[in-house]
Amino acid sequence: MEENSLKGQVAWVTGASRGIGLSIARRLGRMGAKVAICARNAEQLRQAASDLRDEEIDVLAAPADVTRAGEIAVLVHEIQVKFGSIDILVNNAGIALFAPFHMQGEADFDAILATNLKSVFLTSLAVAPEMIRRKAGHIINISSLAGKNTFANGAIYCASKWGLLGLTGCMAEELRVYGIRVSAVCPGSVDTPMLRSSARLFSDGSEEGAQRAIDDWGRSHPLGRVAQPSEIAEVVAFLASLRASFVTGEDIRVDGGLLAMLAAAIPSDRDAAGSD
């Protein structure tokens, strides 16, 4: 991807204090974009901003809860004052909770749906009017393989990510007439703090146990490993660039072939009944 191919553009990445979000902000910044990042954890956000500035990336970092319309409005105004109109919005903020659905409560449902789905609606709503006025813009939503597949203990998380893909498709259809492209990226397992937190729950709780769990998950993928955040960032960089100027309404899997392998393992009705 050409360096400075996003020069003069403004990118806003939510949930960018670490993991996939920080990698996306770094990649877009290296392509010349001015980058605004937000997250709820102010200390982690300050460190992320410092790391980006060390690479001479022009960054604005502001703590914000993207489930709250008021905080979003304040942040969008701050970005516009410092950098100008937002050209690229990457909705990356997300949380996860894995447990049997009957052992979770309304508060769990509300928290996950608010962060993973409502926030995307609110942030997109905040940037859409200016994008529509200029007839240009890119919105990229970070979904998950959980938006295309179901599994035990993932009911609320899957619901949020399936909903996100539905929202993405409808936004793409409605905004394309204004020259605005909307797409989603669906990562599989990625080596992030969120994945390591989950891995500790499924191991003995130690870092060594978490690493063993991650290695085991990696071996279940056709490519034999989990992804690195930078590999997700490369797909986002492609979608944000002119190389993807004819791409909208897509949900791109970045899962090491896992979903295709799972689908191939499910027998068809004909296979189950026999072929004679």
Is residue 138 domain-resident?
A: yes
pLDDT in tens, 221-261: 888 898 899 999 999 999 999 999 999 999 999 988 888 88
CA–CA separation, 259 and 111 (whole Å) = 27
Confidence of residue 275 (pLDDT cuts 50, 70, 90): very low
Determine the distance from the C-alpha atom of residue 218 to the mean position of all C-alpha atoms in its chain, rounded to a whole number.
20
Q: Which domain holds residue 217?
A: 189-226
Q: Catalytic residue numbers? A: 157
Do 178 and 219 fall into the same domain? no
Strand pairing partners for 11?
35, 88
Is residue 232 domain-resident?
A: yes
In degrees rounded to 5, what are phi and psi of residue 167? Answer: -65, -45
Mean pLDDT of 84-93: 98
Do 184 and 197 fall into the same domain? no
In this structure, what DSSP letter does residue 190 have?
B
| Cα 84 to Cα 19, 42, 80, 244, distances in angstroms | 26, 23, 4, 23
Do 207 and 138 fall into the same domain? no
End-to-end CA distance of the chain: 52
Lookup: tokens for 225: 């490993």
Query: In terms of pLDDT, which residue wins out, 150 or 263?
Result: 150
Lookup: tokens for 204: 């003995």
Do 176 and 197 fall into the same domain? no
- Looking at residue 202, what is its pLDDT? 66
Do 178 and 216 fall into the same domain? no
Is residue 111 domain-resident?
A: yes
Query: In terms of pLDDT, which residue wins out, 98 or 79?
Result: 79
Do 36 and 165 fall into the same domain? yes
Among residues of the chain, what percentage have pLDDT more than 90?
A: 73
Do 107 and 130 fall into the same domain? yes
Dihedral sign of CA atoms 11, 14, 18, 21 in order: negative
Among residues of the chain, what percentage have pLDDT more than 70?
A: 93
Do 95 and 169 fall into the same domain? yes
Alpha helices per DSSP H over the chain: 19-30, 42-54, 69-82, 106-113, 119-134, 155-175, 193-201, 207-219, 229-240, 258-265, 269-273
Mean pLDDT of 2-20: 93
CA–CA separation, 81 and 79 (whole Å) = 5
Q: Are 189 and 221 in contact (CB under 8 A)?
A: yes
The domain that holds 23 is classified in CATH as: 3.40.50.720
Lookup: tokens for 212: 């063993």
Do 221 and 137 fall into the same domain? no
Do 46 and 84 fall into the same domain? yes
Lookup: tokens for 129: 């009017």
Q: Are 193 and 18 in contact (CB under 8 A)?
A: yes
Do 132 and 155 fall into the same domain? yes
- Block residue for tokens 């492209």: 181
Do 46 and 128 fall into the same domain? yes
CA–CA separation, 200 and 192 (whole Å) = 12
Is residue 141 domain-resident?
A: yes
User: What is the Cα Rg of the chain in Å?
Assistant: 19
Lookup: tokens for 128: 């859409």
Lookup: tokens for 134: 């200029």
Helix, strand, coil fractions of the chain, as percent rounded to 5: 55, 15, 30
- Looking at residue 160, what is its pLDDT? 98
Is residue 258 domain-resident?
A: no
Number of domains into which the chain is organized: 2
Is residue 40 domain-resident?
A: yes
In this predicted structure, the answer to whether residue 273 has a pLDDT above a threshold of 70 is no
Query: In terms of pLDDT, which residue wins out, 197 or 139?
Result: 139
- Looking at residue 130, what is its pLDDT? 98
Determine the distance from the C-alpha atom of residue 112 to the mean position of all C-alpha atoms in its chain, rounded to a whole number.
14
Mean pLDDT of 94-115: 94
Is residue 196 domain-resident?
A: yes
pLDDT in tens, 16-44: 999 999 999 999 999 999 999 999 999 99
pLDDT in tens, 169-197: 999 999 999 999 999 999 988 887 777 77
Mean pLDDT of 107-130: 98
Is residue 271 domain-resident?
A: no
What rounded mean pLDDT belongs to the chain?
Answer: 91
